[in-house]
Amino acid sequence: MKYSFIVPRTKRIIGSDMRLALFFFGVNIAMMSAAYLFLEYKTTIFKEKHALYATDIKQLDTSTRMLEEKIVTIEAEIKKHEQISTDNTVMAESIHNIFDLAPDSITLMRAELEEKSLILYGISPNKDTYNFMLEAPLKSIFHRTYTSFYPIENGWYHFVSTNYLDDENSTEVVE
Amino acid sequence: MLERLFKKIFVAIISGKDGYDIQSVVVKNKKTLHKEFCHFEGDVPSAVMIRYINDVIDPSPFFYISTLNVHANQGAYDGCSKPSDHLQNQDTVGIQTLCRDEKWTQYAAHDALYQLRSHYSTVGLDFIFSPFSMIEYYFADKIKSSFALYAFGMPELFSIAIFDGEKLEYAHHYARGSSKSVNIDKEVSAMELTSPLLEEENTEGTILLDDIGDLEDLDLLDDFGEIANLDDLEEVDEFSEDVLTLEEKRQERDRNTGVVKDELDASSEEYERFGFIKKTLERFYASAHCHNRFIETVCIADTSSGGDELKRYLEEELFLNVLIRKVDVREGINALAQAEVEGL
Amino acid sequence: MNFRLNYRTFYVILLSLLLMVSIIAFSTFALIPKGKEYRSLRLENKKEQAVIDTAHEDHDLTEEKLKKLEEKNKDTIKAYRTVFNPEKFMRLNRTQLQDLFLTEIHLTDQNKSFKVYEVNATTKITSPEVFYQFLEKVNHSGWIIGVHFPVHFERDKDLIRLSFTMKVHHVSEGKEEK
């Protein structure tokens, strides 16, 4: 101090009562502002998520659909493969069964297997042997069976057996 | 920075034997907006006074309540060294000092300051000023450039300081009731009882042969200003009939004592002050600070009315040039408070 | 009764009223509406999240199913994507099918899903049993091969001359890229 023996008391613009009021209000306002900011932040997050929701769900649906399509494709492939395998097996069995039809006395020289027809070339000791031993089972399998015999020198016969499987609606072809 | 938006309120409280005198000043940006004076009776701050002050300071948080230290145990000395270097006859432990511009020091007792703060504890105190600060404030224009005796007077308080330029040569504080105070009755009786040789009288203008210690001090003989040419015997004051001899002076003094005593009843205070000034001069001239200088001018800041008698005494008895300024101590205190706040 | 209100108390009351009005206004016009918006968005988000979680679950299940299917049928899937190599086929079946000869590989698009290579094969076998074994073996050959009619057997001294048609199934590129 320049002139005075004592220093003046501290002067505060804001008195203690004002400071107390400001403190409580300040705390209140701070808490409310914090709550507001939290709500604002969360609201923004929710809005962003909502905006992404449509995209996300579309992506997921697309992805799921693609996976399902892939599954369908693979199942079709598997089914086709199974069908093909079955057809191969059935073909083997059919051919096996057909060749099993011919008795030992009849010798098959040639077989032409079509989808709906079978032509057998062979040698039979006699017609009856063929008719009873081979033609009968063939007739039971095929819708139409035609046989031609050609005698050979040793008294046996060449035969040509033509057998057809008809469709239900198709007309019979007469040779 | 925010302070500039607020008004500043300065309250000066002066206590006297008839109560409290209060001045409040409202200032904004160095402009005085409002000034008010009030007086309250009592020895202690009354509830009315406290309420008044609280009402005055309420409008602004920047209020400063000031008072003057009127206690006896205070003073001033040259320089800013420790009080123990200057105050040999006093207990300096309980002394608080304030160095003024690295030139001189004002001091006061801790007890006095504490008493003042306790006394005004109901309203609080921001500043306590010394009467010597009041002297400096009232005579700032003169102190800088002249060698003179300056005094500040209030009822029951008289402070004297001798400044040469801005250097404090001598200071003394007189308060009624202090051991240092000079009782004029004692002074008068002392003059009656003591022998002429021991009598302290006005030796201004004379040469004391005792002062000449050796031949080197013959320079003192140069101060022959008062002794005129011997050819003009009529004009030599020493032999003038107008100049009284020592014996004649004593006789006249005896005659005047009665007159003085009559005048004491009418202006005891003024004569008391005259005695203080005279005492101070005597002490100064007897001290090492004198350096053969003589004070020709006395400037007095007086809070009371009157002062003509004192002026007359000083002019006629001590042949001094006297300037008396009528001052309001409350104004001075508030002015100092404002200066203090500006310096914060 | 005189009620004396000093400046400080007046300012405190004024400031308190101002702040209280501000707080109430802020609550009414900002905080409460924001809270309502938050709540409604939260509920909506919760529902959407549930939908997304369900969709994720479905996706994961489908993916799992696909993985298992692929794992279980990886040979078949691989066979469909393996380009038919006649040299390799002949090499693999040389021991059973003598003089195996593959001719006339045609590429026919039977449908959009598959490409089909038609292969005519002629070979000599010792007995029909060999053909039956071939037909069994062709199911695990590393290609998807279906043996089709016409199948011709003809005795040629000790051997049987055999001709048949094979259709090799292959997944088309366009389908794969899809």
- Bridge partners of residue A111, in order along the sequence: A120, C153
Distance from CA of C129 to the nearest CA of A (A): 8
Distance from CA of C23 to the nearest CA of B (A): 26
At residue C118, the pLDDT reads 75
User: Which positions in chain C touch B59 (Cβ < 8 Å)?
Assistant: 7
B312 domain residue, yes or no: yes
Q: Cβ–Cβ of A43/C38 closer than 8 Å?
A: yes
A5 domain residue, yes or no: no
Q: Put the strands of the sheet holding A157-164 in their side by side order.
A: A144-151, A157-164, A117-124, A107-113, C144-156, C159-171, C114-125, C98-109
Distance from CA of A2 to the nearest CA of C (A): 31
Whether residues A97 and A20 share a domain: the answer is yes
Gap between the Cα atoms of B189 and A75, Å rounded? 144
- Bridge partners of residue B21, in order along the sequence: B14, B39
Least reliable range by pLDDT among A40-49, B182-191, B274-283, C57-66: B182-191
B261 domain residue, yes or no: yes
As a residue count, chain C comes to 178
CB C163 within 8 A of CB C120: yes
At residue B129, the pLDDT reads 95
CB B18 within 8 A of CB B6: no
Give the B-side interface with C, CB within 8 Å.
Answer: 54-55, 58-59
At residue B132, the pLDDT reads 94
Residue ending a domain, choose from A43, A76, A101: A101
Residue in A67, A81, A110 nearest the CB of C63: A67
Gap between the Cα atoms of B150 and B145, Å rounded? 13
pLDDT digits (tens, 9 = 90+) for A126-173: 888 888 888 889 899 899 999 999 999 888 899 999 999 988 654 444
Best mutation target, C18, C36, C73, C111, to test chain A (most A CBs within 10 A): C73
Q: Cβ–Cβ of C31/A56 closer than 8 Å?
A: no
Q: Cβ–Cβ of A11/B336 closer than 8 Å?
A: no
Give the A-side interface with B, CB within 8 Å.
Answer: 1-6, 8-9, 11-15
Provide the terminal-to-terminal Cα distance of chain C, rounded to the nearest Å: 95
User: Which positions in chain B touch C8 (Cβ < 8 Å)?
Assistant: 58
Report phi then psi at B243, rounded to 5: -90, 125
Q: Cβ–Cβ of A56/C52 closer than 8 Å?
A: yes
Whether residues A59 and A118 share a domain: the answer is no
Distance from CA of A3 to the nearest CA of C (A): 30
Domain total of chain A: 2
Whether residues A47 and A19 share a domain: the answer is yes
B54 domain residue, yes or no: no
Three-class secondary structure of residue C130 per DSSP: helix
- Give C4's pLDDT tier (boundaries 50, 70, 90): low
Gap between the Cα atoms of B278 and B158, Å rounded? 13
Best mutation target, B65, B98, B120, B132, to test chain A (most A CBs within 10 A): B98
At residue A161, the pLDDT reads 93
Distance from CA of C92 to the nearest CA of A (A): 18
B59 domain residue, yes or no: no
Give the DSSP H or E segment for C144: strand C144-156
- Bridge partners of residue C59, in order along the sequence: none
Gap between the Cα atoms of C131 and C126, Å rounded? 9
C-chain residue closest to A99, CA distance: C128
User: Do the strands C159-171 and B167-175 form a parallel or antiparallel pair, or are they unpaired?
Assistant: unpaired
Gap between the Cα atoms of B25 and B314, Å rounded? 36
Q: Cβ–Cβ of B339/A3 closer than 8 Å?
A: yes
Q: Cβ–Cβ of B129/A4 closer than 8 Å?
A: yes
pLDDT digits (tens, 9 = 90+) for C125-165: 878 888 888 888 888 888 888 898 889 999 888 888 888 88
At residue B106, the pLDDT reads 92
Residue in C27, C147, C154 nearest the CB of A88: C147
Domain boundaries, position B318: 184-326
B82 domain residue, yes or no: no
At residue C3, the pLDDT reads 55
CB C81 within 8 A of CB C176: yes
B240 domain residue, yes or no: yes
As a residue count, chain B comes to 344
pLDDT by residue for chain B (344 residues), tens digit each? 777 788 899 999 999 888 999 999 999 988 999 999 999 999 899 999 999 999 999 888 899 999 999 998 899 988 888 877 776 666 667 889 999 888 899 999 999 999 999 999 999 999 999 999 999 999 998 888 888 999 999 888 899 999 988 888 889 898 865 433 333 333 333 332 333 333 344 444 444 454 444 444 444 444 444 444 445 444 444 444 555 566 666 666 656 555 555 455 446 788 888 888 988 888 888 887 777 788 889 999 988 877 788 888 888 888 889 999 999 999 999 999 999 998 87
A156 domain residue, yes or no: yes
Whether residues A121 and A134 share a domain: the answer is yes
Give the count of Cβ contacts less than 8 A between chain A and B: 56
Distance from CA of A21 to the nearest CA of C (A): 7
As a residue count, chain A comes to 175
Gap between the Cα atoms of B126 and B334, Å rounded? 11
Residue in A2, A6, A15 nearest the CB of B128: A6
Whether residues A88 and A118 share a domain: the answer is no
Gap between the Cα atoms of A93 and A99, Å rounded? 10
Report phi then psi at C35, rounded to 5: -65, -40
Q: Cβ–Cβ of A71/C27 closer than 8 Å?
A: no
User: Which positions in chain A touch B54 (Cβ < 8 Å)?
Assistant: none
Q: Cβ–Cβ of C149/A77 closer than 8 Å?
A: no
A1 domain residue, yes or no: no
DSSP letter at B4 equals G
Mean pLDDT of chain C: 84
Q: Cβ–Cβ of B336/A3 closer than 8 Å?
A: yes
Q: Cβ–Cβ of A84/C146 closer than 8 Å?
A: yes
Q: Classify residue B259 as exposed, middle or buried by CB count within 10 Å of its CB (0-12, 13-18, 19+).
A: exposed
- Using the Cβ of A48 and the Cβ atoms of chain C, whether some distance falls under 8 Å is answered with no
pLDDT digits (tens, 9 = 90+) for C27-48: 999 999 999 999 999 999 999 9
Q: How many CB atoms are closer than 10 A to CB C7?
A: 13
Task: Tell me, rounded to whole angstroms, the distance of Cα B234 from its chain centroid.
Answer: 41
Q: Cβ–Cβ of A109/C76 closer than 8 Å?
A: no
The structure's pTM equals: 0.54
**Strand (E) positions, chain B?**
8-16, 19-28, 31-40, 62-68, 74-78, 95-100, 104-109, 127-129, 147-154, 157-164, 167-175, 297-302, 321-326
pLDDT digits (tens, 9 = 90+) for A56-86: 899 999 999 999 999 998 998 899 899 999 9
Whether residues A34 and A66 share a domain: the answer is yes
Whether residues A25 and A95 share a domain: the answer is yes
A21 domain residue, yes or no: yes
Interface confidence (ipTM) of the complex: 0.75
Domain boundaries, position A69: 15-101
At residue A15, the pLDDT reads 78
DSSP letter at A26 equals H
Best mutation target, B58, B60, B62, B63, to test chain C (most C CBs within 10 A): B58
- Give C97's pLDDT tier (boundaries 50, 70, 90): confident
Q: How many CB atoms are closer than 10 A to CB B125?
A: 22
A-chain residue closest to C161, CA distance: A110
CB A162 within 8 A of CB A147: yes
- Could you tell me the CATH number of the domain that includes residue A110? 3.30.1360
- Give C81's pLDDT tier (boundaries 50, 70, 90): confident
Long-range contacts of B25-29 (CB under 8 A, 24+ apart): B25/B334, B25/B338, B26/B59, B26/B60, B27/B338, B29/B4
Three-class secondary structure of residue A134 per DSSP: helix
Gap between the Cα atoms of B106 and B108, Å rounded? 7
pLDDT digits (tens, 9 = 90+) for C99-119: 888 876 666 666 655 677 777
Report phi then psi at C165, rounded to 5: -110, 135
| C positions 3-22 inside 8 Å of B (CB) | 6-8
Task: Tell me, rounded to whole angstroms, the distance of Cα B114 from its chain centroid.
Answer: 23
Residue ending a domain, choose from A44, A68, A101: A101
Whether residues A91 and A74 share a domain: the answer is yes
Q: Cβ–Cβ of C171/A108 closer than 8 Å?
A: no
Whether residues A21 and A77 share a domain: the answer is yes
User: Which positions in chain B touch C7 (Cβ < 8 Å)?
Assistant: 58-59
A135 domain residue, yes or no: yes
What are the start-end ranges of the H helices in chain C? 7-26, 32-72, 74-80, 86-93, 128-138, 173-177
Residue ending a domain, choose from A64, A79, A101: A101
> Is the previous residue joined to C33 through a cis bond, with omega within 30 degrees of 0?
no
What are the start-end ranges of the H helices in A102-135? 127-130
User: Which positions in chain C touch B62 (Cβ < 8 Å)?
Assistant: none
- Using the Cβ of A132 and the Cβ atoms of chain C, whether some distance falls under 8 Å is answered with no
- Using the Cβ of C2 and the Cβ atoms of chain B, whether some distance falls under 8 Å is answered with no
Q: Cβ–Cβ of A12/B117 closer than 8 Å?
A: no
Least reliable range by pLDDT among A40-49, B127-136, B267-276, C52-61: B267-276
Distance from CA of B134 to the nearest CA of A (A): 9
